[in-house]
Amino acid sequence: MNQKPLIGMMLDWSTDVDFFRACAVAAAYYGADFYYFRTSDIGDHSITGTKLENDEWISDEFPYPDAIYDYTRRREVPRFEEAYRKIGHIPMGHTIKGRSMTKSKVYRIIQKDKQLKQSLIPYMTVREAEDLFTFMQKHQKVIFKTNGGFAGQKILTAELKNDGIELFDQQYLHYFTKDDLSRLSEMLKSKRYFAQKLIHSVTPQGHPFHLRVHLSKNGQNHWVIAFRSISLSLNPHISITNSKHTYRGTSTWGAFLQNQYNEEENGPMQQMIDDYSLKMANYLEEATGGGFHEIALDLGTDDHNRIWLFEAGIGLPGTLYHQLQMALPAMAYTLYLLKKAAPKSSL
Please indicate, yes or no, if residue 65 is contained in any of the structural domains. Answer: yes
Q: What is the pLDDT along the chain (347 residues), one digit of tens a residue?
A: 468 999 999 998 888 899 999 999 999 999 999 999 999 999 999 999 999 999 999 999 999 999 999 999 999 899 999 999 999 999 999 998 876 677 788 899 999 999 999 999 999 999 898 999 999 999 999 999 887 655 556 889 999 887 789 999 989 999 998 888 889 999 999 988 889 999 999 999 999 999 999 999 999 999 999 999 999 999 999 988 888 888 899 999 999 999 999 999 999 999 999 999 999 999 999 999 999 999 999 999 999 999 999 999 887 888 989 999 999 999 999 999 999 998 754 54
Looking at the fold, whether 193 and 214 belong to one and the same domain comes out as no
User: 58 burial class (0-12, 13-18, 19+ CB within 10 angstroms)?
Assistant: exposed
Looking at the fold, whether 152 and 173 belong to one and the same domain comes out as yes
Residues 6+ apart with CB under 8 A from 238: 170, 208, 245, 246
Q: Please give the C-alpha separations between residue 160 and each of 52, 141, 143, 172, 208, in angstroms, as whole numbers.
A: 54, 7, 12, 16, 20
Q: Is the dihedral of CA 57, 61, 66, 71 positive or negative?
A: positive
**Beta-ladder partners of 185:** none
Q: How many helices (H) and strands (E) does the chain have?
A: 8, 16
Sheet (strand 6-11) strand order: 56-63, 46-53, 33-42, 6-11, 67-70
Contact 29, 40 (CB under 8 A): no
Domain count, the chain: 3
The residue among 197, 215, 233 that closes a domain is: 197
Domain that holds residue 176: 123-197
Alpha helices in 179-252 (DSSP H): 181-190
Which helix (H) or strand (E) segment holds residue 328: the answer is: helix 323-341
